[in-house]
Amino acid sequence: AQRVTQPEKLLSVFKGAPVELKCNYSYSGSPELFWYVQYSRQRLQLLLRHISRESIKGFTADLNKGETSFHLKKPFAQEEDSAMYYCALSSRAAGNKLTFGGGTRVLVKP
């Protein structure tokens, strides 16, 4: 079974401070990991995927298969980063359905 856990419901940081959102998963096969973001009054959208190994809006995430984690990090948070962040897991073997974590709300204070 696929399972994604985001232990923090809320992260509050000051502008310019680092932010790290934790994501742990359980899956026995080869997972694909994603971070989705939902800004206020906007639809859910893909932020980044582990396969691409890219940095989007200053965010990076590294897949650690040993620790089954896919934490999202940004060294200097900006006010526009305030949003809901969801970690999600998928696999082609499981038909590409997305399994989401419960989400973390990030609040960046000025």
Partner 1 sequence: DAGVTQSPTHLIKTRGQQVTLRCSPKSGHDTVSWYQQALGQGPQFIFQYYEEEERQRGNFPDRFSGHQFPNYSSELNVNALLLGDSALYLCASSLVGATHNEQFFGPGTRLTVL
Task: Report the interface residues with partner 1, using CB under 8 A.
Answer: 4, 6, 32, 36, 43-46, 49, 51-52, 86, 88, 90, 92, 94-103
Smallest separation, CB 35 to partner 1 (Å): 12
Smallest separation, CB 89 to partner 1 (Å): 11
Residue number with CB closer to partner 1 (15 or 98): 98
- If DSSP states are collapsed to H, E and C, what string results for 65-102? CCCCEEEEEECCCCHHHCEEEEEEEECCCCCCCCEECC
Sort residue 94 into left (φ over 0), alpha (ψ -120 to 50) or beta: alpha
Smallest separation, CB 51 to partner 1 (Å): 7
